[in-house]
Structure 1
């Protein structure tokens, strides 16, 4: 069995957003999931080669003025054309840490993902409003769901 690679490209500028990334990683690395290598790259460090090597991707961003983080937008700006032809159909998921409702952020990311022709594996997860400890469990579930689906060959 060939090991698959799950790439997480997530912006984590605060303690709480770092907790979300760590929770996604923890879920994706669940002991019952094997055969999936999981890595996290902050958007400003992620390169087209990282995406080209990925079998699935989880995107994470803060909501900044009703839009995705500048760091995630920079990732898309640098990686869009270098991966466009080779990664069509890439399974992807998204989470948003939103102070408001995440609508503009979601729409912006979905528009770019549609252009890339990546495939959503589930609805985006939006962590809205004031911090809630339940966000951590939801982030773990997201990581586990994507990694387990990748391992099982569901996508």
Structure 2
């Protein structure tokens, strides 16, 4: 997560405020106030974390009609197959009609320097997409 945030907070990115909310603390008000979303989750037993699922359960209907088309990105980390976690998040974000900026970033096993760089790039890409024109 640190690398993702470092990318999102790069000094070259202007006019974007990065706000971090743990999944269990984030609310529909937070989602409505944001212009885009950078979602991250560990993969537990082949699925997104219970915390991220709880987040979606809490915000889904209150934000459904108000966040259509907003951009999001996703990163997942697991020790084996992450397919179920990615599919679960994408099913929900499709229902919300959010717009995926790029393919999800999957990190398997030990986090390498290349993984950290990819996480940094994901954060930077997400934040840069929200820069005012």
- C-alpha deviations, 1:120-155, integer Å up to 9, x for none? 0000000012332322211111010111121155xx
Q: Aligned partners of 1:47, 1:118: CA distance in 2, in Å?
A: 17
> Is residue 2:85 matched to residue 1:105?
yes
> Is residue 2:91 matched to residue 1:90?
no
- C-alpha deviations, 1:12-70, integer Å up to 9, x for none? xxxxxxxxx22111111111110000011110000101100111101000000000000
TM-score with structure 2 length normalisation? 0.96
Gaps of 5+ in 2: none
Counterpart secondary structure, 2:18: strand
Residue among 51, 54, 58 paired with 2:34 = 54
TM-score with structure 1 length normalisation? 0.82
Q: Aligned partners of 1:118, 1:134: CA distance in 2, in Å?
A: 28
The structure with higher relative contact order (CA 8 Å, sep 6+) is 2
**1:66-77 matched pairs, under 5 angstroms:** 66-77=46-57
The range that moved more, 56-65 or 132-141, is: 132-141
Gaps of 5+ in 1: 1-20
Count residues with an aligned counterpart: 133
